[in-house]
Amino acid sequence: MNTLTDTPIVTSPPVDNGKPDGFYRHLLAATKDERRALMGGELIGRAQGGKITLPEYRAFLAQAYHHVRHTVSLMMACGAELSAPNFVLRDNLRMAIAEYIDEEKGHEHWILDDLESTGVDRHHARSRPPLFETEWMVSYAYDSIRRRHPLAMFGMVLVLEGTSTSAASAAGRAIRDSLGLTDDAFHYLFSHGELDISHMAFFAELMDTITDTEEQAQIIHSARAFYRLYGAVHDAALRDAEHWTDEALEANSCHH
C-alpha cells in the first residue's frame, strides 16, 4: 500500500513463466527487494492512483524520451560485443538483440507525440537536456555493456520492460481519466504496457538459456543497479515538474 495514495502498489513480477529451476525465476527472486522499492516509489504510486499532475506527467515523459532514444544504440552496442570470439556459438543472443532492435526503434517519437498532445512543443522537449539522474542511468548502461559485460544489457531490459508490464497501462488509464486527456497523450504508456507483456515472455525464455554462473551474476548486478537508477529518475522527474507547468512553458517560448 502506498501511504501517499492508499492505493495498492503492484509489486509482483509481470511474467513468471520461466522454468522452475531456470535463471529467469532466480533473477526475479534475486532482485525482488529492488523491484519492490521501485514499484513502491512516489511516482508509480501516485500514477496508479490517478494523482499525478499534468506538469508531473510531462516531466516523466520528458525523461522517458531522453533514455528511450538510447535504447536502440545500447542494443547495437551489446550486439557488437556479442560478435567477440567467446560468443561465437551464441547465435540466440545475437538474434534476440536483433529482434529487440526491430521492436524498439522509433519509440522515442511516440513520447514526443504524447508530449505534444499535452501541450508541449516537441522541439522544446527534445532540446531541453536530460536531468542528471537520467544521464547517469544512460551512461551506466553504456559503461556496463562495454566495461563489465555485454549481457548487463538484459538487466536494463528486465527493469524497464518489467516495470511497463506491471504498471504502464493501469497508470496510463488512471492519469488519463484524472487529467481529462485523450488516448493521444498515452501512446508510450499504453503501447508499452501491451507490447512488453509479450516481450517479457520472450525475455523469460531467453534468460533460461543463460546457464553460466558468471553471466548470471552480471545480469543480476545490472538489474539491481537499474532498479535503483530508474527509481532516481522517477524521483528527479517529480522534482522537475515545476519546469513543465503551462506558465513555465509559456515563459520559455517567449525567451525563444
State the CATH number of the domain containing residue 116: 1.20.910.10
Would you say residue 13 lies in a domain? no
**Can you tell me the distance from the alpha carbon of 195 to that of 56, in angstroms, rounded to the nearest whole number?**
24
List, for residues 39-71, the tens digit of each pLDDT value: 999 999 999 999 999 999 999 999 999 999 999
Tell me: pLDDT of 158 over 80: yes
Q: How many Cβ atoms sit within 10 Å of the Cβ of residue 246? A: 12
Higher-confidence residue of 123 and 256: namely 123
**Residue 21 pLDDT level (bands cut at 50, 70, 90):** confident
Would you say residue 6 lies in a domain? no
Tell me: pLDDT of 9 over 50: no
Would you say residue 29 lies in a domain? no
Report the pLDDT averaged over residues 165-172: 82
Range of the domain at 168: 34-250
**Can you tell me the distance from the alpha carbon of 215 to that of 211, in angstroms, rounded to the nearest whole number?**
8
Q: Taking the model in full, what pTM does it have?
A: 0.90
Would you say residue 220 lies in a domain? yes
**Can you tell me the distance from the alpha carbon of 21 to that of 82, in angstroms, rounded to the nearest whole number?**
26
User: Whose grid coordinates read 547495437?
Assistant: 76
- Residue 7 φ then ψ, to 5°: -105, 130
Sign of the Cα pseudo-torsion (203, 226, 46, 125, in order): negative
The answer to whether residues 40 and 232 touch, using CB atoms and an 8 Å cutoff, is no
List, for residues 178-192, the tens digit of each pLDDT value: 999 999 999 999 887
Report the candidate in 233, 110, 213, 109 with the shortest Cα–Cα distance to residue 163. Answer: 233
Q: How many Cβ atoms sit within 10 Å of the Cβ of residue 143? A: 11
Would you say residue 222 lies in a domain? yes
The confidence score (pLDDT) of residue 5 equals 38
Tell me: pLDDT of 213 over 60: yes
Structural domain count of the chain: 1
Sign of the Cα pseudo-torsion (216, 219, 225, 228, in order): negative
Would you say residue 21 lies in a domain? no
Tell me: pLDDT of 170 over 90: no
**Can you tell me the distance from the alpha carbon of 105 to that of 228, in angstroms, rounded to the nearest whole number?**
25
Single-letter code of the amino acid located at 203: F
Would you say residue 145 lies in a domain? yes
Mean pLDDT taken over the chain: 90
Tell me: pLDDT of 6 over 70: no
**Residue 138 pLDDT level (bands cut at 50, 70, 90):** very high
The answer to whether residues 221 and 36 touch, using CB atoms and an 8 Å cutoff, is no
The answer to whether residues 48 and 171 touch, using CB atoms and an 8 Å cutoff, is yes
Report the pLDDT averaged over residues 82-105: 91
To the nearest whole percent, how much of the chain has pLDDT over 70?
88
The confidence score (pLDDT) of residue 99 equals 92
Report the pLDDT averaged over residues 31-43: 97
SS3 129: coil
User: Whose grid coordinates read 499532475?
Assistant: 53
Would you say residue 178 lies in a domain? yes
**Can you tell me the distance from the alpha carbon of 134 to that of 39, in angstroms, rounded to the nearest whole number?**
18
